[in-house]
Amino acid sequence: MIVGIGVDLVDVPRFEEQLARTPRLLPRLFAPAERVLKPRSLAARYAAKEALIKALGGSDGVYWTDIEVASEPSGRPVFALSGETADTIAARGITVLHLSMSHDAGLATAYVIAEAGTPTLPGDTA
């Protein structure tokens, strides 16, 4: 069952300017593996984290660096959650997080769908 949907849009040049003006934002917002990425990819990950918070209905128990956006071998983006954020999401009964991200024409966007209940595999009819 879908329990939350979140979306966010980031202006990439403006985001890049903010990172340049305030270098301490990088370690406050991103996991170590994310910090080496290009600004457009960081902007998409920032949008993904904001969209996740919106899908959860708020930021209580959620910490930015506990949310890492990783990639499956296919390139599909996925959340790699840790710490209190992982515990908070599990405590809310959320079993699946769907993530889609894109960046083009100076904008980065992300959509997140949070599901609760028993996870199912594609093709399951249960």
pLDDT for residue 20: 95
Query: In this predicted structure, what is the pLDDT of residue 117?
Result: 86
Q: Parse the chain into domains and list their residue ranges.
A: 2-116
Parallel, antiparallel, or unpaired: how do β-strands 77-81 and 94-104 relate? unpaired
From its phi and psi, is residue 122 left (phi > 0), alpha (psi between -120 and 50) or beta? beta
- H helix runs in the chain, sequence order: 12-21, 25-29, 39-56, 83-91
pTM of the model: 0.90
Q: Is 50 annotated as a binding residue?
A: yes
Q: Is 8 annotated as a binding residue?
A: yes
Average pLDDT, rounded, for the chain: 93
Kindly tell me the sign of the dihedral angle through the C-alpha atoms of 65, 33, 52, 21. positive
Topology (CATH) of 2-116: Ribosomal Protein L22; Chain A (3.90.470)
